[in-house]
Amino acid sequence: MSQPDGSQTDNSLTDSEMQARLLTQALPYMQRYENKTIVVKYGGHAMGNAELGRAFASDIALLKQSGVNPIVVHGGGPQIGAMLAKMGIESKFEGGLRVTDQKTVEIVEMVLAGSINKEIVALINQTGEWAIGLCGKDGNMVFAEKAKKTVVDPDSNIERILDLGFVGEVVEVDRTLIDLLAKSEMIPVIAPVAPGRDGHTYNINADTFAGAIAGALNATRLLFLTDVPGVLNKQGELIKELSVAEARALIKDGTISGGMIPKVETCIEAIKAGVQGVVILNGKTAHSVLLEIFTERGAGTLIVP
């Protein structure tokens, strides 16, 4: 069947013609991102789904094969919670954040820098690419300090300081090791665990950790794989692109609410740190990374300066 202008509809294309069209559309974007750094924060439900995990690994491999320099940062909150329960350690939360005592931080490091990290590395290596598992401790890549969080008591309206134990905030990133790995064609997969100058080990929120890494590398893109399509307007429709000023206005008027607020604020902080653009997209959609990077429409919400 033909269009009025004589062109074919997608329904009439053969598989080969469709693949050729997709490759043709992707080529300009491959050229745009060649030799550029893209940091991908991997987590959420996609991490617990074997099929989505393989799709994610193939996306990262294809980025590398296309001349892009991908860096993976991952979380693992549900897996940490499950291991703590298995070990008989009760999870305590303050202001929505996990309190991390000495026993807990040991489990956190074991799960994040151990089992989860190596699982992601293995998936990428199965594609034929070379991934290497790291955490902030390796090569003194990241240093952290004890997080300073406060919460306002709703009854007294008095602000109090939360003691979250060994929950940390990034204070320094040294990109030397990451740059060396990029030159050696390896794909770094980084767990958000880092040492402090005080000798302690700190558990760091994976989103803020990824933002700090991306900022230090002046990354072209930082992708947050989440459990939602992106930022939605009041009608529930996806917003394709926002400036920092527009994002702040949507927080102020309540369009951006709940758990999306800290996500967007992390995006804004990453842009202030030097990232050219940050994307919130749905990790439950197979190949969402490729759809975002190599297609015109993208796959989520792009936040730019």
Q: Binding site residues, as ranges?
A: 76-77, 98, 203
Contact between residue 33 and residue 25 where contact means Cβ atoms under 8 Å apart: no
Contact between residue 64 and residue 71 where contact means Cβ atoms under 8 Å apart: no
Q: Tokens 């008027």 correspond to what residue?
A: 253
CA distance 254 to 264: 13
CA-derived radius of gyration, the chain:
20
Helix H or strand E encompassing 188: strand 187-191
Binding-site residues for substrate sit at: 76-77, 98, 203
Tell me the residue ranges of DSSP E strands in 64-141: 69-74, 93-94, 97-98, 131-135
Q: Tokens 């998936």 correspond to what residue?
A: 123
CB burial of residue 258 (10 Å; 0-12, 13-18, 19+)? exposed
Q: Which residues pair with 233 in a beta bridge?
A: none
Q: Quick one: which of 93, 27, 86 has its CA closest to 293?
A: 27
> Which tokens belong to 36?
């550029």
Residue 46 CB partners (closer than 8 Å, separation 6+) = 52, 53, 56, 225, 283, 284
Backbone angles phi, psi at 75, to 5 degrees: -105, -155
* Residue 92, CA atoms < 13 Å, CB-side half-sphere: 14
